[in-house]
Amino acid sequence: MNTLPVTCLVAGIFALMLIPLSVQVSQRRAKLHTVFGDAGDETLRRRIRAHGNFIEYAPLAVIVLGLVESHGGPQRLVWALACGFMLGRVLHAVGMLFTSTPPLRAAAMAFNHLSFLAAGIWLIASL
pLDDT digits (tens, 9 = 90+) for 49-94: 999 999 999 999 999 999 999 999 999 999 999 999 999 999 999 9
pLDDT (0 to 100) of residue 76: 98
Q: What is the mean pLDDT of residues 114-125?
A: 98
pLDDT (0 to 100) of residue 124: 98
Q: Long-range contacts of range 118-127, CB-CB < 8 Å, 24 or more positions apart?
A: 118/77, 118/80, 118/81, 118/84, 119/64, 119/65, 119/67, 119/68, 119/81, 120/64, 122/68, 122/73, 122/77, 123/64, 123/67, 123/68, 123/71, 126/71, 126/72, 126/73
Output the pTM of the full model: 0.92
Q: What is the mean pLDDT of residues 30-59?
A: 95
User: In this prediction, what percent of the chain has a pLDDT beyond 90?
Assistant: 95
Q: Are 120 and 107 in contact (CB under 8 A)?
A: no
pLDDT (0 to 100) of residue 101: 84
Nearest residue to 44 via CA among 32, 55, 53: 32
Residue 123: how many other CB atoms lie within 10 Å: 14
pLDDT (0 to 100) of residue 1: 62
Runs of H (alpha helix) within 33-74: 42-70
- 38 vs 100, which has greater pLDDT? 38
Q: What is the mean pLDDT of residues 102-125?
A: 96
Class of domain 5-126: mainly alpha
d(CA 78, CA 34) in angstroms, rounded, equals 42
